[in-house]
Amino acid sequence: MEYYSLKCAYSDEYVSDVPMAKVNDVNGDAVAVAGAGAGAQPTIGRMGRSFESGRWIKAKQRLRIPRLFGKFCRPSDNELYLVGGIGFDSNNILTSLSSVDHYDFGEGHWHHYGDIKWARHGHDIATLNDRIVIVGGVSTIKKCTLTKVEAFCMKTRRSFKDMPELPWPLSGCVVLALD
């Protein structure tokens, strides 16, 4: 894994140095998504083809709902998914999310694609064939760190609990699928 120290830019002004892991580099673009709070809209930022500029470009896309600690995966050039996270419910209480959102590149926006069985944040994901494997995390609903592992099928939009549980609760983990 390579690490870069990038300058975060809004309206062409440098705001701060942000250490950022370069992951999921597709066609020379690196994408990062920032959550939002206090009424601000969640935004997507991208680092363009010129990493030398060291500047983030504010994109126009918005997440479907504001969230933190969700996980992204890009199984192909035309697919982008956002799984779980933590956000505010209708009573303005922070709660773990079970939603799987899909970015429609043709329409340029996010839409709800399905739900995982266990609402969670602080988890990690990996893609394996046509499934997103979701491991560990924390649930505000169950009020615990999870041992749960599940798979979400990208074709059928269904979640499967057919995976063995972890031997201990785990959050803040890293998952890698080796094929």
Structural domains of the chain in order of their starting residue, each with its CATH number: 1-62 (no CATH), 66-179 (2.120.10.80)
Mean pLDDT taken over the chain: 76
Nearest CA-CA partner of 146 in 125, 127, 120, 164:
120
Share of the chain above pLDDT 90, in %: 47
In 3D space, the residue among 169, 174, 167 whose CA is nearest the CA of residue 143 turns out to be 169
CA separation for the pair 48, 30 (Å, rounded): 7
**pLDDT tens, residue by residue, 69-119:** 999 999 888 889 999 999 998 899 999 999 999 998 888 889 999 999 999
Gyration radius from the chain CA atoms: 17
Q: Are strands 94-104 and 79-83 parallel, antiparallel or unpaired?
A: antiparallel
Residue with the larger pLDDT of the pair 108 and 127: 127
Q: Specify the pairing of strand 144-145 against strand 138-139.
A: antiparallel
- Bridge partners for 87 per DSSP: 95
Tell me 165's DSSP state: P
Please state the pTM of the whole predicted model: 0.70
